[in-house]
Structure 1
């Protein structure tokens, strides 16, 4: 709850502010607010007034962090599997297109491109090596983050 008064910008904010203040006031005097309808602010104000549970284990924060990390790693693993599956499908489709059209696409590209550098096999090999290196480094980075 906010304790520093700020002028409300619209009617909705003013209603929210009033509900927070009523819940806090009702909590201070331990009574129901005037309208007697419980709001989520009543539950929040009540929870904030309760003393902390002293029975928490000393490594509670570490357990919570480990559980959050495990959930994140499961999600990352699922996304990694989906990404690799998509890459595999795209590579298979590219291979199928190359087999279907043969060398005709290379001749078409050479005739339509003013710079015939893309037709040079060494430049294509260099681009392919750079792409594979980039993909492998990203996969290793994701695995490294998932392991920690």
Structure 2
């Protein structure tokens, strides 16, 4: 573990203070190279930072992005996704065939007893969520991919 080094270098501190004072008073260079180095630091710290980005940076990036062709899915990606879906479907069918539906009864026994009206209201809520998701997706597509304005 590193031990803190709180030692104070009096000479360096005096050089820094002298450089700051001379720079504030616009005094001539006294010829001391250490003070001159600290005066350069004082001048550099007094200058405002340059702008990191040009004023039209966002516009230039948007124009560059518009010029690039849109990359769609490659054939390999489509085949991999289809393969994963097929593997999932086969494994689900295997699981259902092996277990014989006992998993469904075991899962339903963990749920609290629900009456028909509760199931109907949750079903309606789920249907409303799906319908709104679909509707907002259609609005977004019809609006050119932008959010509603």
Query: What is the TM-score of this pair, normalised by structure 1?
Result: 0.31
Structure showing the higher helix proportion among its residues: 1
More RCO (CA 8 Å, sep 6+): 1
Query: What is the TM-score of this pair, normalised by structure 2?
Result: 0.31
